[in-house]
Copies of this chain bind each other. A is one copy, B any other.
Amino acid sequence: MRRLLLSRAQYLIVVGPAGSGKTTLAAAFGRWIEENQGLRVAYVNLDPGAESTPYRPDVDVRRWVTVQRVMKERGLGPNGALIASVDEVYARRGEVLEEIAGLGADFVIVDTPGQMELFLFHESGPAISRELAKLGAASALMLFDVSLARSPSHFATLRLMGLVAQLRLEVPAVVALSKGDLRGAERVGAWARSPHALLEDLKLEPGVVSELAGRLVEAMNEFSLAARIPVVSAVTGEGFRELYDILHEIWCACGDLT
């Protein structure tokens, strides 16, 4: 019934470093939303370097540009070709966005380039994100492999990255930890559930940088941004309900978060 409450499409921009499991999560979370929320879900692939996707893209940037073609045609290596192909996506963003705007879906999952910096620290990411926010309710999901959160200060960096994503893309960002089915995820769970537990453990780490990280976490808590960090698993579906609820809260309640 939730569909009736929402007049415009919801756009979820999935961002995260190479290997964080963005594409796998996009497919699994999309399926979960279809099955559990009864929403029509559409998939957008913005990664010109994607080999294959476990979902069928409704809009696929590879129609216009692929990294493989750029490598071949322009004689570039992988590094150069990745940048050049994202430049091409940026140049053709009008066509891409027009296709996205024409999707008749309730919930649109937007999968981004394998390397997150080609979206976050390139002009294409903010430009596309701003346009999506005009089409409907847009937010970003900042995904990290749970293994990157081994220490309290490393965990704090992932929360900081959520803020970085929010400031750059100018839409609310939620941090989630992927591969929650893997060993070691439990240790991280306590920090994910409780910003207070994270602060306590940061205090036990020596050095002024940990102290500063604690201060920043405190400030972020106070602004109640990205405070809850769901640990999700595309394998078991763990954390999907929590993630969906957080997104729903943002979309229904947030005013001017940017």
- Asked if A7 lies at the interface with its beta carbon under 8 angstroms from chain B, I say no
Which residues from 109 to 149 on chain A have a C-beta closer than 8 Å to any C-beta of chain B?
114-118, 121-123, 144, 147-148
Q: B79 touching A51 by the CB < 8 A rule?
A: yes
Which residues from 198 to 235 on chain A have a C-beta closer than 8 Å to any C-beta of chain B?
206-213, 215-216, 219-220, 222-223, 225
Which residues from 73 to 94 on chain A have a C-beta closer than 8 Å to any C-beta of chain B?
76-83
Binding site for B on A (CB under 8 A): 17-20, 47, 49-51, 67-68, 71, 76-83, 114-118, 121-123, 144, 147-148, 153-154, 156-157, 160-161, 163-164, 166-168, 206-213, 215-216, 219-220, 222-223, 225, 256-258
Closest to A114 in B: B79
Q: Which residues of B contact A144 (CB under 8 A)?
A: 121
Closest CB of chain B to A246's CB: distance in Å? 17
Closest CB of chain B to A35's CB: distance in Å? 29
| Choice from B115, B222, B257 contacting A79 with Cβ under 8 Å | B115
**Top 8 A-B residue pairs of the complex, sorted by shortest distance between their CB atoms:** A79-B114, A78-B78, A17-B117, A17-B121, A51-B77, A49-B79, A212-B223, A215-B219
